[in-house]
Structure 1
Amino acid sequence: MRKYLITLVPVLMLSLQPGPHAGMSAVPMPPPSADDLKPSVSQEHVEQLVARLLTTHHYRKVKLNDSLSSVVFDNYLKELDGNKAYFLASDISSFEKYRNNIDDQLINGELTAAYDIYNVFRKRYQERNKFVQDNFVKPFDFTVDETFNTDREKASWPKSIEEQNDLWRKLLKNQSLELKLTGKADTSVVNSMKSRYKNLDRYMSRIKAEDVFQIYMNSFAESLDPHTNYMSPRSADRFNQEMSASLEGIGALLQEDGDYIKISDIVPGGPAFKSKLLTKGDKIVGVAQGEGHMVNIVGYQVDDAVKLIKGPKGTTVRLQIKSMDAVAGAPPKEIRLVREKIKLEEQRAKKEVIEISQNNKKYKLGVITIPVFYRDFEGARKREEGFASTTGDVQRFLNELKTEKVDGVVVDLRDNGGGSLTEAITLTGLFISRGPVVQVKEATGDIEVQTDPDPSVLYDGPLAVLVNRFSASASEIFAAAIQDYKRGIIIGSQTYGKGTVQTMVDLNTWLKESEKVGQVKMTIAKFYRINGSSTQHKGVTPDIELPSAFTAEEYGESSQPSALPWDQISSARYDVTRNLDDKLITKLRDRYEQRLKSDAEMKQLMADFAELKRAKEKTVVSLQEAKRKKERDEAEKRRKSITDAAGEPTAANDSSIPAKDPKEPKAPKKDLYLDECGKVLADYIAFIKNPQ
């Protein structure tokens, strides 16, 4: 069986998007200078090769034309100045000559557009850096009643230096106010801001031609789909060394996102994973050792941030975090984690038994939580007895649960970003007789149906699969198969929708250059359910949809402009189990909706999500301290209400953080989603025993 790369792999890409902290100045176009960055002959060769590879072998068959050129042009400007704060409108006008000829430059190995645009950006940055230094002579006046719009996506580039200066004044004032509201004195705020921009300046001074080339080539690669990337030799080396090893202290994968360090993934079993205090997409703005001084890391490169975050096992690191779902004006939160070595055992599936009271009856349910689909391929190759695998562990759990006489089983796949395709197939086989599990369509159009060959069924009792917006790839394949066979009920929120397959291409095998030239991660195939529907873009829609704070428009594959579309192929031949027909699903949904009307906790959770959505849509914040403090407190109250209701520990109640009084440990928070999933499964069991 072919091995596929199907996890949500974070690619370490360098981006210069400045976040809500950037800008620029000067009306005439800056003249060329001796220190301008220039392309190498090797880069020109790589550009031609990558263009040929992606237009020939990528799953999405695209032509290099003016239409694609325009998309690449816009992508590149967004990567450099996504908040429209550095370039002036006159700069953008001068760049328009490149909009429709980037396709020709890609074919011919010409990099004029890439470096001309970047070198202007570099000079605009230097002008803005001087503006920053001039504006931190004294603290800002936070009694003035004015506002700032944190969302610059639809804004225009400044038309004059005066307009740009005013934008930057508000940018800097907004950042300063955020720091002041954490309790810092005015002088401390000024010093912190100076340090922040000193870090950013140090970061900018390290940008080499290799980095510019990577940004430009990714503006092209990601116009085809979000999972296709070019990695420079340095980034490729980082990727191949696996960031999880270098960050084993907290168990998180990091990448640069403008002047921020962003969490691109969380390693199952690590301190970050177990604490539930961090989420993919969160940004780290500060790091402190134990009770030491908090170092602001805005503007740091990944390597420098890693040096601060990792450390000896058993030591404590404090992090200041900007949450991925934070509303405008919300303050960064501070968490603390105890570093530890991440063990394989911590990443493996776990089992527990819970009791659910429903309709005056108690139900005993087994819950199997799978953080990732893991498989020891080396152990499997050597046919070692008991080699680590998801299927092997779940098989053991199911036998134990049958001995314990549970009434039903929940497979919890929340936040499971994927893993081994083999394991997704064999795990499905524990619940069905032999048959197809997933279809794979290659870029050539060939379709391979991958099946479970084992006719035995280990568990044929009531089954529920719990998913959320961050269940992806292998998780979606398993959940889709269970749904298509009508073997179990899928509960939760729409899954991520990552239904594509990538392969790594070492460009040195194609180019005989004297030095390393990097790698390309390229999409070459798509996954399809056995009913013919793609898991790409749409993901898996649950039979019972629970409230969620994460919308398809903001998170997941469908939020990416270049995501491959959903489509359909012919269905594979398979026989449904008849365990769960449409009529029964309708009954279960009706019961759930009735409960939703009367369940106080669920009603409150829905109300909080609605309020959070409204708050996130409000991007204009006050720059007056008193008003901003009120906005911040209200935002924090909403966030805490939601995390408490959803059963996600906060820094104040997480079990990994010792309570102030060890004699009064915090009680574990209720997992509202798991509880509701249990109630739906209990209804299912009741209907089976007493059909109506």
Structure 2
Amino acid sequence: LGQVIKSGPVVQIRDGNGNVSVFEDDDGGAQTYAGPLAVMINLASASASEIYSAAIQDYERGIVIGSTTTGKGTAQVQLDTLAYGQATLTQRKFYRVTGGSTQNKGVVPDIKLVDIYNEEFGERKAKNALKWDTIPTAPFKREGSVLQPYVQNLAQMSQQRVSVDPQFKYLEQRKAIAKKTDEQKRVVLDIDQRKAELNALEQKTLEAENQRRSLTGQKPYANWESYQASVDALIESRAKMKANQRPALAEEETFVTESANILLDYAKLQSSKAASQ
């Protein structure tokens, strides 16, 4: 955080006794980068990445894009010297510089994109998760407070692109299919009816994939079996590669591209405002 802000607190930590420690940017006011900034988050963003994105948001230093984070605002210590077994003890809780916890609620993005995890996990799903709460704000100075006037326009321009993007349309369809399946509270015991439901689910998934392929100039799959074989082959080939050598999947790359477009829109809006003044 010290690389992109000039100075000030970056996170507050409260221990079990209620003592609050404020951790500051300690590089003497140095700022490596002061230009337009975007931070991408989703439900898999936890702990340190939540501290980072929360501070970027509170300082209004950049645009936070994506979906709400996991809400893991606590720190633990592993007790492995017990007579029997092990235990994990929660010792501290993280708080934003504005005083709100990152626990449970997580960080809500400025510009929302589809949640690919569909709220499948996170602190909000855990039993007996610690609640969200607040402590006093740590004194800090925002980096210009220039973002908020643009958020509505940025969100509208982003939605226009997302609504016609083949990859985002595919992800939205897959999310809707998964949500409908999750919301079905009953289990069919009749084997023929169960097979019919599974076939219908496969057909909807295949249709979503083939629609994406048609819109991106690729040949649609003839049936579920050929689609599944292709997916299995892709998984196998990627498993043989080192993580840093795997090319980004099209549905992953679209988040990066859209974030870049939002950042470009932001820079243009700032330039237009500066020119008019």
Shorter-chain TM-score tier: 0.7 to 0.9
CA distance in 2 between partners of 1:518 and 1:657 (Å):
34
Residues 507-518 of structure 1 aligned to structure 2 (within 5 Å): 508=82, 516-518=83-85
In the alignment, residue 563 of structure 1 is paired with which amino acid? Answer: A
Matched, 1:689 2:271: yes
Taking structure 1 as reference, are residues 608 and 518 closer, same or farther at Cα in structure 2, changes over 3 Å only? closer
Superposition deviation, residue 494 in structure 1? 0.3
Which residue matches 1:529?
96
Superposition deviation, residue 450 in structure 1? 0.6
Matched, 1:566 2:139: no
Taking structure 1 as reference, are residues 656 and 527 closer, same or farther at Cα in structure 2, changes over 3 Å only? same
Alpha carbons 1:488, 1:579 under 8 Å: kept = no
- Which of 224, 232, 238 is 1:651 aligned to? 232
Secondary structure at the aligned position of 1:677 is classed as helix
Residues 573-588 of structure 1 aligned to structure 2 (within 5 Å): 573-578=139-144, 580-588=146-154
Matched, 1:471 2:45: yes
CA distance in 2 between partners of 1:526 and 1:561 (Å):
17
Matched, 1:459 2:33: yes
Superposition deviation, residue 639 in structure 1? 5.2
In the alignment, residue 76 of structure 2 is paired with which amino acid? Answer: Q
Superposition deviation, residue 667 in structure 1? 9.9
Secondary structure at the aligned position of 1:535 is classed as coil
**1:156-188 per-position Cα deviation (integer Å, ceiling 9, x unaligned):** xxxxxxxxxxxxxxxxxxxxxxxxxxxxxxxxx
- How many residue pairs match? The answer is 246
Taking structure 1 as reference, are residues 501 and 638 closer, same or farther at Cα in structure 2, changes over 3 Å only? farther
TM-score (norm 1): 0.33
Alpha carbons 2:66, 2:112 under 8 Å: kept = yes
Residues 665-680 of structure 1 aligned to structure 2 (within 5 Å): 669-670=250-251, 671-680=253-262
Matched, 1:612 2:178: yes
Residues 281-430 of structure 1 aligned to structure 2 (within 5 Å): 428-430=1-3
In the alignment, residue 686 of structure 1 is paired with which amino acid? Answer: K
Matched, 1:592 2:174: no
Which residue matches 1:224?
none
In the alignment, residue 528 of structure 1 is paired with which amino acid? Answer: Y
Which residue matches 1:501?
75
CA distance in 2 between partners of 1:519 and 1:626 (Å):
47
Superposition deviation, residue 540 in structure 1? 0.4
In the alignment, residue 444 of structure 1 is paired with which amino acid? Answer: N
**1:507-541 per-position Cα deviation (integer Å, ceiling 9, x unaligned):** 54xxxxxxx33332111111000000000001100
Taking structure 1 as reference, are residues 588 and 495 closer, same or farther at Cα in structure 2, changes over 3 Å only? same
Taking structure 1 as reference, are residues 630 and 672 closer, same or farther at Cα in structure 2, changes over 3 Å only? farther
In the alignment, residue 91 of structure 2 is paired with which amino acid? Answer: I
CA distance in 1 between partners of 2:248 and 2:57 (Å):
35
CA distance in 1 between partners of 2:70 and 2:90 (Å):
17
CA distance in 2 between partners of 1:584 and 1:667 (Å):
30
Alpha carbons 2:177, 2:205 under 8 Å: kept = no
In the alignment, residue 675 of structure 1 is paired with which amino acid? Answer: T
Taking structure 1 as reference, are residues 443 and 673 closer, same or farther at Cα in structure 2, changes over 3 Å only? same
Taking structure 1 as reference, are residues 637 and 469 closer, same or farther at Cα in structure 2, changes over 3 Å only? farther
Which residue matches 1:482?
56
Superposition deviation, residue 624 in structure 1? 4.7
Secondary structure at the aligned position of 1:465 is classed as strand
Superposition deviation, residue 613 in structure 1? 0.7
CA distance in 2 between partners of 1:469 and 1:431 (Å):
24
**1:559-591 per-position Cα deviation (integer Å, ceiling 9, x unaligned):** 123011000111111111126421012221122
Taking structure 1 as reference, are residues 529 and 657 closer, same or farther at Cα in structure 2, changes over 3 Å only? closer
Superposition deviation, residue 657 in structure 1? 6.2
Superposition deviation, residue 431 in structure 1? 0.7
In the alignment, residue 652 of structure 1 is paired with which amino acid? Answer: A
Larger Cα-atom Rg:
1
Alpha carbons 2:63, 2:147 under 8 Å: kept = no
Superposition deviation, residue 432 in structure 1? 0.8
CA distance in 2 between partners of 1:549 and 1:656 (Å):
20
Which residue matches 1:448?
21
**1:61-118 per-position Cα deviation (integer Å, ceiling 9, x unaligned):** xxxxxxxxxxxxxxxxxxxxxxxxxxxxxxxxxxxxxxxxxxxxxxxxxxxxxxxxxx
Taking structure 1 as reference, are residues 470 and 637 closer, same or farther at Cα in structure 2, changes over 3 Å only? farther
CA RMSD of aligned residues (A): 2.8
Secondary structure at the aligned position of 2:97 is classed as coil
Alpha carbons 1:612, 1:638 under 8 Å: kept = no
Taking structure 1 as reference, are residues 657 and 556 closer, same or farther at Cα in structure 2, changes over 3 Å only? closer
Alpha carbons 1:464, 1:677 under 8 Å: kept = yes
TM-score (norm 2): 0.78
Superposition deviation, residue 555 in structure 1? 1.5
CA distance in 2 between partners of 1:467 and 1:496 (Å):
10
**1:642-681 per-position Cα deviation (integer Å, ceiling 9, x unaligned):** 7x97xxx9433344268xxxxxxx9953422222222212
In the alignment, residue 605 of structure 1 is paired with which amino acid? Answer: L
CA distance in 1 between partners of 2:194 and 2:132 (Å):
43
Taking structure 1 as reference, are residues 453 and 538 closer, same or farther at Cα in structure 2, changes over 3 Å only? same
Alpha carbons 2:118, 2:175 under 8 Å: kept = no
Q: Which runs of 5+ in 1 are unaligned?
A: 1-427, 509-515, 659-665
